[in-house]
Chains A and B, each alone.
Chain A
């Protein structure tokens, strides 16, 4: 693809500008508290934008365009029922509560509510998951750069890793949130431009519907919901697996997401950030899925049918981007970079926080000083980016659809995580051993369903692992001793901290 000088100028300025801005935001950083929680000084509106782009990044731009091409508007449910619904509940019930608990990480909360085994298990699981996720994001970056700029995969991954390491290691969560704010604006502009120019190319919305409807196997492409016996996305599985398990687990329990709301100034600002995030997310799914439909109408002959064995993921968005005129292309490429960087910085910062808080500080050195934790966090940022870059080569070989790979990672332990959080926050009934049993039973069932059965949707895997986890917590809690109320104060919603007198 030929980039005009104005496009290249925009992209280079964007890359350098965002790195410099991030490093500038990180000045005056002295402790792990500053690096990991931004000194609890982050405004709600910046956190809201950061929440949006931490969720919708490069993987979604590429992956959702692909899946929009293959499955149509049913993919919008990942935001409509999988995000907006749990985010609104989390905004009022969970986030203010977790903010008051004063935790750095979700495993830290689980450790205080259950025991250190549960904390360690989830810290390790999250760290492994985040390395895998970083690999997925790097694959998105490599695919896009290869197609657009002709760079090879290794060069693309290396360039991206260095840039993100620069400002995330120095600026911490504060740099992450403020650069995400810029990224959010660029991302929205870029997504709108792709939709508008793509629709013009097709001949408008009505022409798009007519062209897609005329193709074989597209009878549900413009439906939000597919029938209950659909092989890929049956609506009961979408509702139960995505709406009631994966979505809530992601928005309440994903460290990379919730960490930024822990950095707000107050619990009411944590709530406001989540509500604003939900408001922004009502529009995003259409901006990300409709390009897939446009790609189907325009490039069906070139890319081929999405349900065939010859399907190659990652091609829809790059083909669409080639339609854009010089000047606009730079903005859209900037949007893609914004998505990559915001995803990467969020996950890498959270992975470092987890390792420092839940492993190093909890198990190795309880008396570590603030500056020690900060420098260790910075070193871990570099290490996690390196691991993620290495992992991307494996992810690239193994998975066809980037987005599906991300969901497969999630489905293994999101059910157990949600079960433990719900039992932990909403009841006094769950015991420490019940929590451990719930974790093990959920992960066991998820593993069995994934590897012991064939062609089972990850949505069903998430649902049944959640059910198994609930059963595990409930049954074992019946026969084991629970903590007293004083031990649970501040950890269960109905048992607030005692107010100090005087």
Chain B
């Protein structure tokens, strides 16, 4: 079953490490987009501080998460 799946992937031309790099980087890119666009209510940020609009960026967990995801995305794209 998985052998057939691998054959399918190979047949689609996704054998090269370049295709893999793009696929892995895309996963982190999608994560960054989700972190940027998701509403504050989903993350319940209003409960973490009395005045969420005044929280400095460096104390915001969402900012740190985006930075980490961006680092990972660049690692997959740029590593040689």
14 A-B pairs with C-beta separation under 8 A:
A84-B69, A88-B65, A92-B43, A96-B44, A226-B20, A227-B17, A229-B6, A236-B6, A236-B9, A236-B23, A237-B6, A267-B47, A268-B44, A449-B1
How distant is the Cα of A268 from the Cα of B50 in the complex, in angstroms?
Answer: 13
A85 within 8 A of B: yes
How distant is the Cα of A463 from the Cα of B31 in the complex, in angstroms?
Answer: 21
A497 within 8 A of B: no
B76 and chain A: residue at smallest CB distance: A224
Q: Which of A57-65, A253-261, A274-282 contacts B (4 or more CB under 8 A)?
A: A274-282
Contacts of B34-59 to chain A: CB distance below 8 A: 35, 38, 42-44, 47-48
Query: Which B residues touch A228, using CB under 8 A?
Result: 6, 9-10, 14-15, 19-20
Q: Do residues B1 and A92 form an inter-chain contact, with CB atoms below 8 A?
A: no
Q: Do residues B27 and A243 form an inter-chain contact, with CB atoms below 8 A?
A: yes
How distant is the Cα of A234 from the Cα of B2 in the complex, in angstroms?
Answer: 12
How distant is the Cα of A413 from the Cα of B26 in the complex, in angstroms?
Answer: 28
Q: Do residues A224 and B64 form an inter-chain contact, with CB atoms below 8 A?
A: no
How distant is the Cα of A96 from the Cα of B47 in the complex, in angstroms?
Answer: 12
CB distance from B36 to the nearest CB of A (A): 12
Q: Do residues B42 and A92 form an inter-chain contact, with CB atoms below 8 A?
A: yes
How distant is the Cα of A234 from the Cα of B9 in the complex, in angstroms?
Answer: 10
Query: Which B residues touch A464, using CB under 8 A?
Result: 1-2
Extra contacts, 20 of them, besides A91-B61, A91-B65, A239-B20 (Cβ < 8 A), are A80-B76, A84-B72, A85-B69, A88-B68, A88-B69, A92-B38, A92-B42, A96-B44, A226-B20, A227-B15, A228-B15, A228-B19, A228-B20, A229-B6, A235-B20, A266-B48, A267-B44, A272-B61, A275-B64, A464-B2
A96-B44, A236-B9, A464-B2 in contact; A229/B15 too (CB < 8 A)?
Answer: yes
Contacts of A188-237 to chain B: CB distance below 8 A: 223-229, 234-237
How distant is the Cα of A278 from the Cα of B61 in the complex, in angstroms?
Answer: 11
Q: Do residues B6 and A271 form an inter-chain contact, with CB atoms below 8 A?
A: no
Q: Do residues A239 and B23 form an inter-chain contact, with CB atoms below 8 A?
A: yes
Contacts of B1-29 to chain A: CB distance below 8 A: 1-2, 5-6, 9-10, 14-17, 19-21, 23-24, 27-28
Query: Which B residues touch A268, using CB under 8 A?
Result: 44, 47-48, 61
What is B's interface to A at a CB cutoff of 8 Å? 1-2, 5-6, 9-10, 14-17, 19-21, 23-24, 27-28, 31, 35, 38, 42-44, 47-48, 61-62, 64-65, 67-69, 71-72, 75-76, 79
A460 within 8 A of B: yes
Most buried by A among B35, B44, B47: B44
Q: Mark A42-79, 1 if CB is under 8 A from B, else 0.
A: 00000000000000000000000000000000000000
How many chain A residues touch the partner (CB < 8 A)?
Answer: 39
A89 within 8 A of B: yes
A383 within 8 A of B: no
A125 within 8 A of B: no
Partner among A89, A96, A226, A272 whose Cβ is within 8 Å of the Cβ of B31: A89
A456 within 8 A of B: yes
A81 within 8 A of B: yes
Query: Which B residues touch A88, using CB under 8 A?
Result: 31, 35, 65, 68-69
B49 and chain A: residue at smallest CB distance: A268
A286 and chain B: residue at smallest CB distance: B75
Most buried by A among B10, B15, B20, B44: B20
Query: Which B residues touch A278, using CB under 8 A?
Result: 65, 68
How distant is the Cα of A235 from the Cα of B48 in the complex, in angstroms?
Answer: 39
CB distance from B8 to the nearest CB of A (A): 9
A227 and chain B: residue at smallest CB distance: B15
Q: Do residues A282 and B72 form an inter-chain contact, with CB atoms below 8 A?
A: yes
CB distance from A25 to the nearest CB of B (A): 26
Contacts of A361-393 to chain B: CB distance below 8 A: none
How distant is the Cα of A225 from the Cα of B35 in the complex, in angstroms?
Answer: 26
Query: Which B residues touch A457, using CB under 8 A?
Result: 2
CB distance from A99 to the nearest CB of B (A): 11
Partner among B17, B43, B65 whose Cβ is within 8 Å of the Cβ of A235: B17
Query: Which A residues touch B72, using CB under 8 A?
Result: 80-81, 84-85, 282
Q: Do residues A239 and B6 form an inter-chain contact, with CB atoms below 8 A?
A: no
Q: Do residues A275 and B61 form an inter-chain contact, with CB atoms below 8 A?
A: yes
Query: Which A residues touch B5, using CB under 8 A?
Result: 236, 460
Q: Do residues B17 and A85 form an inter-chain contact, with CB atoms below 8 A?
A: no
Contacts of A84-141 to chain B: CB distance below 8 A: 84-85, 88-89, 91-93, 96
Q: Do residues A225 and B68 form an inter-chain contact, with CB atoms below 8 A?
A: no
Partner among B17, B19, B71 whose Cβ is within 8 Å of the Cβ of A282: B71
How distant is the Cα of A239 from the Cα of B23 in the complex, in angstroms?
Answer: 8
How distant is the Cα of A235 from the Cα of B12 in the complex, in angstroms?
Answer: 14
9 A-B pairs closest in CB distance: A235-B20, A268-B48, A225-B20, A460-B2, A228-B15, A275-B61, A236-B9, A225-B17, A228-B9
CB distance from A476 to the nearest CB of B (A): 21
Query: Which B residues touch A271, using CB under 8 A?
Result: 43, 61
Q: Do residues A279 and B64 form an inter-chain contact, with CB atoms below 8 A?
A: yes
Query: Which A residues touch B42, using CB under 8 A?
Result: 92-93
Q: Do residues A226 and B17 form an inter-chain contact, with CB atoms below 8 A?
A: yes
